[in-house]
Amino acid sequence: MTSKSLAGDVVTLPEVSEGKVTLICIAFVRSEQSMIDSWAEPFEQEFGKDSRFAIYEVPMINAAWKVFSWMIDSGMRGGIPVEKHSNVVTFYGDYSDYQETLKMKDTNFAYVFLLD
């Protein structure tokens, strides 16, 4: 998956995590942020200062919302600390292939993947 981070960088996952232990958190709805936080916060507390580890949050947003991406991303930037903007990679588009490949059947849940 290639998309832009909130910092404006083009990020390709999982390639950007090569050589690192990486937690990738994917959510389809805002209400699942607490589920992501339940994994990301302890991971960050334990490994956040170690360059061998990384965390990426990936909000998956339907293609119909792409015309509002500037507004949605701007809202996220306002609610997320600047130092985390490079690690939030918003995907706008048809995510059905990702759902199928990663077996993410229910879009009401967040999904967490640990890559080594």
Neighbours of 86 (CB within 10 A): 16
pLDDT at residue 30, rounded to an integer: 86
Structural tokens at position 6: 């909130």
Task: Yes or no: say if 97 and 21 are a contact pair by the CB < 8 Å rule.
Answer: no
Burial 46-79 (b: 16+ CB within 10 A, else e): ebeeeeebbbbbbbbbeeeeeeeeeeebeebbee
User: Computed from CA positions of residues 8, 9, 15, 16, in that sequence, does the dihedral angle turn out positive or negative?
Assistant: negative
Q: What gap in Å lies between CA 35 and CA 17, rounded to an integer?
A: 22
Angle at 92 (CA atoms; ends 86, 114), nearest 5 degrees:
55
Which CATH number characterizes residue 92's domain?
Answer: 3.40.30.10
* Total structural domains within the chain: 1
pLDDT at residue 31, rounded to an integer: 87
Domain that holds residue 61: 2-115
Tens digit of pLDDT at every position of the chain (116 positions): 999 999 999 999 999 999 999 999 999 998 898 999 999 999 999 999 999 999 999 999 998 888 889 999 998 999 899 999 999 999 999 999 999 999 999 999 999 999 98
